[in-house]
C-alpha cells in the first residue's frame, strides 16, 4: 500500500481535515494520486498540550487513514515514533516530495494561520482549496462585513437564518422571535440538576489503544489525564454522538445552557465541537439533526443550539480570516500579566476555578459558560495577556483550533479585540457565579463581599476592573447599570478594593507555566 515511488498529486490531510469528501479530494485519481498524513512532534509541543487532545487528534487521524485505505486510496502515513519522522510539517512534506516528485501538492486551507504561513513559505506552489465544510464562505463573510462594518453577531445570524431558510416562516423567524434567550437562563437551584443522560462511551479499539500508549510514552510531562478515554474518533462514532445528543440532551440544552454544577462537566451540552472541528461531522448535518428534533425539544432549545452552529461558529471563523494576522496581536485593554500556573494545575482555593480546571484536566473540555464566565473571566479581570490566554486554551482543550479558539479567547472572553466579537466585556461579580452554579456554597469566600479576608476574589477583581477601565466602558449603554452600582461605592471602599485587587494580582500570577 505504501510502496509508491511517484505520484501525480500529493494531497495533504491535516489533523483537522478528516473528511474524505473535502475539496482536497476533488479530482483525486486513486491510480495516480496519494494522500500524505503526518503525526509531527512540533504540533504537539510548540505549546505543552493536554494528553487527551493529542490522543484525540492522533486516534482520529489513524482511523481516517484506515477508512481511506479501505476505500482504495493510497495513504502515506507518518507515525510519530517513526525513526525517519523529521518532526514538523515542512520536513515531512519535503521528505516525501523529494521521493515522489509530485506534479502538485494540494491541501485544504488549514485552520491555523501559522500552518498556512509555514506551508506557503516552504512550498510556494502549493495549491490551497477552500473548505466547503463551513456554511459561510470567505467571500460571503467579506461581503457581509462590507455591508455591516460593526460586525454584530445578531445581524450575521439573522442573515444566515434567512439565507439558509432555517427556522423561518416566510421572512419571519419561526415562533415570532429570533432568539429565546430569556427562556435559556435557567440554573439548577438547591435541588441540583435533573438526571442528565450521559454521552455514549466509545471504548478504545486496538488503533486507539496504541495511540493512548504512545501518548503516555512520548509525552509523559504533558498536562491532563488520559484515563477512561471514550471520545468519538471516527465518523460513525461522531454520528452516534450527534444522535444521542438530539435524542437525549437537546430538549434541556436551551434551558440550562448557562448553568454550572459541581462534578458535572457536560450537563446538557452536545460535546460536538471536537468532531465538528476535525470535520468528522459537517455543520449542515448537525443542524439537520437538530431540526429533525426526534425528542420534540422546545423551540427555545432547537433555536439556541442552531444559533451556536450557524451563528457563532461561522461568525468567529469569518472574523478570524478577515482580521488575521493582525488580530492575534490585539490587546485593547493593555493586559500585560502572564497566565497563572493554576490554570494548568487547578491548585487554587477558589471553588469555581478548581471545578472548571478539574473539568479541563479530566476531559480537555469545559462547557461554554465555564470557559467564558469562570476561566476566561478571571483572566480578563486579572489582566492576563490575551494571547497567553489563547495559548493556554490551545494547549488544554480537545476542540481548540486557532480559527475558533483565538476569536473566542482573545476576542469574546478577553475583549482584546476591543469589541469586534462582543460589544462589551463579559465581566460579572461572584454573584453571577453564585446564581448560575452551586460553586459558591462550597467555597471559603463570600461572593457578595469585595473586601475583607473572606471576600470573593472574582468580586474584588470585578469592581476593580470596572474602575480601571472606566474611561473606556462607562459610556457603553450596555454597561450602564454596572457603572451605576460602582458609583454607589464610596472612596474608602474603592481604595480598599484597589489595594486588595493589586495584592490578588501579585499573588495569583506569581507562578506561571508557559
C-alpha 374/C-alpha 390 separation (Å) is 15
Q: How far is the CB of 184 from ligand FAD (least distance, A)?
A: 11
Q: Which is nearer to ligand SF4, 36 or 461 (CB)?
A: 461
Choose one: 83-91, 293-301, 324-332, 442-450; the region binding ligand SF4 (CB under 6 A). 442-450
In the complex, least distance from residue 13 CB atom to ligand SF4, rounded to whole angstroms:
43
Min separation Cβ 453 and ligand FAD, Å:
31
Reading the block at residue 430, the C-alpha cell is 461572584
- Phi, psi dihedrals of residue 384, rounded to the nearest 5°: -80, 145
Pick from ligand DLZ, ligand FAD, ligand SF4, none: which does 447 bind, CB < 5 to 8 A by kind? Answer: ligand SF4
Alpha-carbon span 261 to 189, nearest angstrom: 10
Phi-psi region of 287 (alpha: psi -120 to 50; beta: other; left: phi over 0): alpha
CB 303 within 8 A of CB 179: yes
Q: Let me know if 79 is exposed, middle or buried by CB neighbors in 10 A (0-12, 13-18, 19+).
A: middle
SS3 letters across 210-224: HHHHHHHHHCCCCCC
For 444-510, the DSSP string reads SSBTT-SSSTTB-HHHHHHHHHHHHTHHHHTT-GGGHHHHHHHHTS-HHHHHHHHHHHHHHHHHHTS
Which chain residues interact with ligand FAD by CB under 6 A?
Answer: 269-273, 276-277, 305, 308-309, 312-313, 316, 367-368, 371-372, 376, 393, 397, 399-400, 404-405, 408-409, 412-413
57 is a contact residue toward ligand DLZ (CB under 6 A): yes
Q: Between residues 20 and 338, which has the closer beta carbon with respect to ligand DLZ?
A: 20
CB under 6 A: which stretch of 20-28, 65-73, 346-354, 506-514 binds ligand SF4? 346-354
Q: Report what 273 binds from ligand DLZ, ligand FAD, ligand SF4, none; CB cut-off 5-8 Å by kind.
A: ligand FAD
- Which of ligand DLZ, ligand SF4, ligand FAD, none does residue 115 bind (CB under 5 to 8 Å by kind)? ligand DLZ
Query: Which grid cell sits at 147?
Result: 455591508
Q: Does 229 bind ligand DLZ (CB under 6 A)?
A: no
Closest alpha carbon to 316 in 349, 281, 277: 277
Asked if 459 contacts 350 with a C-beta cutoff of 8 angstroms, the reply is no
Say whether residue 340 binds ligand SF4 (CB under 6 A): no
Is residue 40 part of the contact set for ligand DLZ (CB under 6 A)?
yes
Considering only 59-67, 76-84, 221-229, 440-448, which stretch makes contact with ligand SF4 by CB under 6 A?
Answer: 440-448
Angle at 151 between CA 394 and CA 147, to 5 degrees: 140
Using CB under 6 A, which of 19, 33, 112, 241 touches ligand DLZ?
Answer: 112
> Is 456 one of the binding residues for ligand SF4 (CB under 6 A)?
yes
Where do contacts with ligand SF4 occur on this chain (CB under 6 A)? 350-352, 430, 433-434, 439-440, 443, 445, 447, 456-458
Amino acid at each position: 500500500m505504501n510502496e509508491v515511488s511517484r505520484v501525480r498529486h500529493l494531497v495533504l490531510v491535516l489533523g483537522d481535515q478528516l473528511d474524505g469528501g473535502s475539496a482536497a479530494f476533488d479530482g483525486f485519481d486513486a491510480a495516480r494520486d496519494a494522500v500524505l498524513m503526518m503525526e509531527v512532534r512540533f504540533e504537539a509541543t510548540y505549546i505543552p498540550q493536554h494528553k487527551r487532545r493529542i490522543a484525540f487528534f492522533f486516534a482520529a487521524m489513524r482511523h481516517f487513514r484506515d477508512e481511506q485505505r479501505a476505500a482504495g486510496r493510497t495513504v502515506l502515513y507518518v507515525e510519530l515514533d517513526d525513526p525517519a519522522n523529521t518532526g514538523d510539517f515542512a520536513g515531512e512534506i519535503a521528505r516525501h516530495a523529494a521521493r515522489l516528485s509530485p506534479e502538485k501538492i494540494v491541501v485544504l486551507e488549514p485552520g491555523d494561520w501559522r500552518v498556512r504561513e509555514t506551508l506557503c513559505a516552504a512550498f510556494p506552489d502549493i495549491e490551497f482549496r477552500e473548505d466547503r465544510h463551513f456554511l459561510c464562505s470567505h467571500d460571503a463573510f467579506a461581503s457581509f462585513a462590507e455591508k455591516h462594518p460593526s460586525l454584530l453577531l445578531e445581524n450575521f445570524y439573522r442573515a444566515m437564518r434567512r439565507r439558509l431558510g432555517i427556522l423561518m416562516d416566510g421572512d419571519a423567524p419561526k415562533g415570532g422571535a429570533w432568539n429565546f434567550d430569556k427562556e435559556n437562563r435557567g440554573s439548577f437551584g438547591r435541588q441540583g440538576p435533573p438526571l442528565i443522560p450521559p454521552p455514549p462511551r466509545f471504548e478504545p479499539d486496538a488503533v486507539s489503544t496504541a495511540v493512548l500508549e504512545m501518548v503516555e510514552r512520548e509525552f509523559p510531562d504533558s498536562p491532563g489525564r488520559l484515563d477512561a478515554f471514550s471520545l468519538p474518533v471516527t465518523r460513525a462514532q461522531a454520528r452516534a454522538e450527534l444522535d444521542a445528543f438530539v435524542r437525549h440532551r437537546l430538549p434541556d440544552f436551551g434551558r440550562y445552557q448557562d448553568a454550572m454544577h459541581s462534578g458535572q462537566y457536560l450537563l446538557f451540552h452536545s460535546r460536538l465541537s471536537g468532531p465538528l472541528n476535525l470535520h468528522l461531522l459537517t455543520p449542515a448535518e448537525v443542524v439537520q439533526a437538530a431540526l429533525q428534533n426526534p425528542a420534540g425539544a422546545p423551540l427555545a432549545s432547537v433555536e439556541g443550539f442552531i444559533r451556536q452552529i450557524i451563528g457563532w461558529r461561522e461568525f468567529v471563523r469569518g472574523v478570524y480570516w478577515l482580521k488575521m494576522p493582525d488580530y492575534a496581536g490585539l490587546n485593547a485593554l493593555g493586559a500585560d500579566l502572564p497566565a497563572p500556573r493554576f490554570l494548568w494545575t487547578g491548585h487554587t482555593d477558589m471553588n469555581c476555578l478548581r471545578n472548571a480546571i478539574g473539568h479541563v484536566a479530566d476531559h480537555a473540555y469545559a462547557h461554554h459558560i465555564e470557559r467564558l464566565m469562570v476561566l476566561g473571566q478571571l483572566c480578563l479581570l486579572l489582566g492576563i495577556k490575551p494571547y497567553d490566554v489563547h495559548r493556554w486554551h490551545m494547549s488544554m482543550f480537545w476542540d481548540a483550533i486557532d480559527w475558533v479558539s483565538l476569536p473566542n479567547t482573545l476576542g469574546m472572553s478577553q475583549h482584546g479585540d476591543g469589541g469586534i466579537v462582543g460589544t462589551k466585556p463579559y465581566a460579572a461579580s461572584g454573584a453571577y457565579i453564585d446564581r448560575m452554579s452551586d460553586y459558591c456554597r462550597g467555597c471559603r469566600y463570600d461572593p457578595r463581599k469585595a473586601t475583607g479576608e473572606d471576600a470573593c476574589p472574582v468580586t474584588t477583581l470585578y469592581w476593580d476592573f470596572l474602575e480601571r477601565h472606566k474611561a473606556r466602558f462607562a459610556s457603553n449603554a450596555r454597561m450602564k447599570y454596572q457603572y451605576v452600582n460602582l458609583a454607589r461605592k464610596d472612596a474608602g471602599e474603592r481604595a480598599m478594593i484597589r489595594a486588595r485587587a493589586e495584592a490578588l494580582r501579585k499573588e495569583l500570577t506569581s507562578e506561571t507555566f508557559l
